[in-house]
A and B are shown apart, each in its own frame.
Chain A
Amino acid sequence: MIARLIVRRLMFTVVVLLGLSLMTFTLSHLVPANPARLIAGPRASASTVEKIEIEYGLDQPLPRQYVNYMKGVVQLDFGRSFSSRKPVSEDLARYLPATIELGLYAFLLSTLAGVPLGVASAVRRDSFIDHVSRIISISGLALPVFWLALMAQFLFFGKLGWLPDGRRLPDSVKAPPGITGLYTIDALLAGQWSTFVTAVEHLILPVVVLAFGSLAVTTRMVRAGMLEVLDQDYIRTARAKGLARPAVIRKHALKNALLPAVTSIGLQIGLLLSGAFLVEIVFSWPGIGRYAVNAILQIDYNAIMATTLVIAVIFVFLNLLTDIIYLFLDPRISF
């Protein structure tokens, strides 16, 4: 069943990506701007602008530009970025790991903290911990991520000086040898303990800010699921049979309550990726979000297309993973 699901999803992904590429290409070209002028600068002559148009194939008709681009994409060649003037694939290799590292830890934090908090909140309904959990949930959902980022930076860097302002590492520290591109892991693999500690210090603020919104959703979903399950007859039966409360919660309630939460956690990836755009700007985090924002401002067609496609692939893949986890959690489900 899993193999069939994967094949079906992969076929579906191709269609999604094709549609998405066409839509992104059309939308980005609808802007009545000339990227060659932006590359050349406002003071450049018309002949310089023309040279740049030819260099980047911008003088070609739009359908041809699209076909040429897609031919390249099939061979994993995303063209050349107008803003960095390097192959986009090279840029992605540079910036994507930074976003993955940020997103991964934010995801882990929001899940590892959100699930127990949701459970505790449901089990001890209307207690102090429930109130705290609800405050976290509501503020996580209500506070815009950019505002939270600015405030966190202001407080913990600007006022208290406890944490660094952002970036992956300070200018004076060399990045660890690139194995995974994730500095924390690479530093550990290379045995660079102090670099690891510095990288972690730099991760704390952006990760916490990014995870906050997602933590709120996870907590709410788990709490709601647990409240519903805890009210079921089979839970009462289990308790009546003399099973200890922790065992009932862990073995009987949590597994069932997690089903809707898993879907929600899977969808959180989208929230994390979109949040990363803003968090990366505030914390000067050299990730794909910051790269994409810059690409949009520069009307960098190739970079815009590539980041859109890559994010779409990540999103589709992780949702597929969620569905597979779903199958394991509840064998009754079929796709």
Chain B
Amino acid sequence: MANTITRSFVTAALSGQLNRRQILERGLALGVSTPLIAALMKRTPASAAPAPQSQRWRSGLQFEDNGTLNVIISSGTNDIDPHSTYSTMGSAIALGSYEMLVRYQGDSTEVVKPFLAESFEANEDNTLFTFTLPENVLFHDGTVCDAQAVKDSMIRFRRLEMGPYIVLQRFVDDPESQIEVVDARTVTFSMTRPQPLFLAAMASSYGPFVVSPAAWAENATEDDPWAHEFISFNAVGTGPYRLVENITTELVRFEKFDEYHRGWEGPHFSEVVMRVVNENSTRRQLLEEGTSDAITSLLTGEDVQALSENPNLTTMIYPTTRVNWAILNAVRLGVDARRGLSYAFPYDEVIEGSYSGMLERSGPIPSTVRGADPDVFLYPTDLDRAAELLTAGGFPAGSSFDMLVVSETVEDTITAQLFQASLAQIGIDLSITEIDLATYEEIIFGDAPAEEKETILGSWEWWPDYNDAHNQLAPNFLESAIGGGGSNGGAWVNERFEEIMAEAEVFENEDQLLELMKEAQQILTELDPPAIYYGETLMYTILQNDIQGFVPNPLYLESYFFYDMYRVSE
């Protein structure tokens, strides 16, 4: 630039366009400014944000680099070990860096397709499952992912005995003998009895990921033989993206793994940044400004409404496997009282007022999960019937109930207030106690006797690890789920339900399961309700219009398959 200015100055001077005074003034200015500009330019990088250079991949096939995908999240996670983390965020991060052998296809909760595996097959009675791996699969540490690595990884998952290990344990309690390495690319899982749900479980985003055995072997210690400490902070999978930064309160950053076994032909992002944004309004502004590309949940109903009208954004609303309910204290409330409360609940007002229409009425099993009864009994709001049953249950007009509310959750507070107003119409008082989430979870999972707990133990939500009704119900309603074993905080026990669940756990054919679950749902709703079921959650993802390839799956909550996503150019 300085050279151009100098040249034009000299040309102008020599051609007589400048007088002597102008020549002196401009010459002086040029003399001062030229070294200054040169020094500044030398100091300044070409750009504060260097544009990613386009790259090519294999045999001249084009890798179209879509740059960075920016996703908003509410917080990171301090444990990215896929064999121990048991949160939606842990699962979302794992899906970026690791792979399961199979995954659910598209938006289906029924069909599974190969993920790490190239193919898979089950024998006729579902007692033997064979997975074939593609050639030349590498982990992010450069080691080979073969059948032995898959077996070792599953052994680690089972033996670490943390987080979601029951996902595997139910089918493969003894991985050392049940998993066989046939050859470098073939691995079989043999069951002790027919297991129609095994593939569904292996497609879960809670646990069955393949982790580099070399990575944990190198970092194992006497106290930590599975190198949990190392794997908690370092992702070493076979997935399309390498985790390069994970700061719980700030961001999670992935970079494309060049050696990914499915290759990089076509459009993909070379980098993914999941950024922690705490404030609702900031989240909305980042989307409106186009600074962020995607968000799932995390906004107020009002913001979602506003953003859905924004022509630059696409709002996708889809079903999930999550159900919301209020836990009832079964020790302090008899069947009539619990049924009465179920009739007194203002379902429509809560769905509209608290959840901005993002719930659909359901029983305890969502419609997206195998075993859901399409004709499940749903309580209508019927205050006369409610008053009748509550009186019969020992709570006539003038009685009072108490309800817990998690103060951090706006929906819970509004729900409780709407319920309070509904009960007030039949002369019943509902006192609301707001507590923080940590205290709330201690009440639900703690071993304090139910007699000492509130009558209505606040709003709860649950979704299964994989497509299985038993997995949805067991941690919430079995007797073993009382006091630390699960979230049966209301200490509800029903003998027939226990029998049904015992049978459902070892079911061998679909018809048998459907029959059992139909009866279970009748007990859980009409006959002996341990909870008031609001409905199943509808989730939303808001994307910039140029982001394509996102297919929400009801089981992979708040997760993205980054490899499938891309940006279309204008």
A interface list, Cβ under 8 A from B: 31-35, 37-49, 51, 81-85, 150, 153-154, 157-158, 161, 165-166, 170-173, 191-195, 198, 281-284, 286, 290-291, 294, 297-299
Contact = CB atoms under 8 A, between A and B. Distances in A.
Contacts of B122: none
Given A157-B289, A194-B48, A41 B86 contact: yes
Contacts of B441: 33-34, 37-38, 42
A234 B361 CA distance: 81
Given A33-B442, A40-B163, A85-B78, 14 more contacts: A32-B442, A38-B438, A40-B86, A42-B487, A51-B162, A85-B232, A154-B281, A157-B289, A158-B285, A172-B50, A192-B43, A194-B45, A194-B47, A284-B279
B273 A171 contact: yes
Nearest to A44: B86
A41 B163 contact: yes
Nearest to A286: B250
B285 A191 contact: no
B325 to A, nearest CB: 14
Contact of B164 (A43, A84, A154, A166): A43
B114 interface: no
Name the 8 nearest CB pairs between A and B, nearest first. A33-B438, A172-B49, A46-B484, A158-B285, A41-B86, A85-B78, A41-B87, A33-B439
B437 A297 contact: yes
Contact of B485 (A46, A158, A284): A46
A173 B49 CA distance: 5
Contacts of B75: 294
Contacts of A291: 249
B68 interface: yes
B13 interface: no
Contacts of A193: 40, 43-44
B70 interface: yes
Q: Which of A193, A283, A290, A299 neighbours the largest number of chain B CB atoms within 10 Å of its CB? A: A193
Nearest to A173: B48
A172 B50 CA distance: 7
Contacts of A39: 78-79
Given A171-B253, A172-B48, A45 B166 contact: yes
B268 interface: no
Contacts of B110: none
A281 to B, nearest CB: 5
A215 B443 CA distance: 45
26 contacts: A33-B439, A33-B442, A34-B438, A37-B442, A37-B445, A41-B86, A41-B87, A41-B90, A43-B87, A43-B465, A49-B484, A83-B249, A84-B78, A153-B285, A157-B289, A158-B288, A165-B285, A171-B253, A171-B275, A172-B68, A173-B48, A192-B45, A193-B44, A194-B48, A284-B279, A294-B248
A294 B249 contact: yes
Contacts of B194: none
Interface of B: 40, 43-45, 47-50, 68, 70, 75, 78-79, 84-87, 90, 161-164, 166, 206, 232-233, 247-251, 253, 273, 275-279, 281-282, 285-286, 288-289, 291, 408, 436-439, 441-446, 465, 475, 484-485, 487
Contacts of B275: 171, 284
A193 B42 CA distance: 10
Contacts of A35: 438
A198 B48 contact: yes
A281 B278 contact: yes
Contacts of B87: 41, 43
Contact of A44 (B44, B50, B163, B233): B163
A37 to B, nearest CB: 5
Contacts of A283: 282
Contacts of A157: 285, 289
Nearest to A149: B279
Given A43-B86, A281-B278, A284-B282, A191 B43 contact: yes
Nearest to B273: A171
B279 A281 contact: yes
A298 B281 CA distance: 23
A165 B79 CA distance: 29
A87 to B, nearest CB: 13
Contacts of B289: 157-158, 161, 165
Q: Which of A32, A45, A195 neighbours the largest number of chain B CB atoms within 10 Å of its CB? A: A45
Contacts of A32: 439, 442-443
A34 B281 CA distance: 31
Nearest to A51: B162
A34 B446 contact: yes
Nearest to A287: B249
Q: Which of A161, A171, A193 neighbours the largest number of chain B CB atoms within 10 Å of its CB? A: A171
A141 to B, nearest CB: 24
Contacts of B250: 284, 286
A39 B78 CA distance: 8
A186 B273 CA distance: 25
B282 A153 contact: yes
Contacts of B78: 39, 81-85
A63 B75 CA distance: 32
Contacts of B85: 41
Contacts of A297: 408, 436-438
Contacts of B40: 193
A31 B441 CA distance: 12
Given A41-B86, A43-B164, A49-B484, A165 B48 contact: no
Contacts of A198: 48
Q: Which of B45, B273, B408 neighbours the largest number of chain A CB atoms within 10 Å of its CB? A: B45
A38 B163 CA distance: 12
Nearest to A43: B86
Nearest to A172: B49
A33 B232 contact: no
A40 B162 CA distance: 9
A150 B442 contact: no
Contact of B282 (A46, A166, A194): A166
Contacts of A158: 285, 288-289
A288 to B, nearest CB: 11
B49 A170 contact: yes
A84 to B, nearest CB: 5
Contacts of B484: 46, 49
Contacts of A81: 78
A173 B365 CA distance: 47
A172 B446 CA distance: 45
Contacts of B485: 45-46
Contacts of A42: 441, 444-445, 487
A192 B45 CA distance: 8
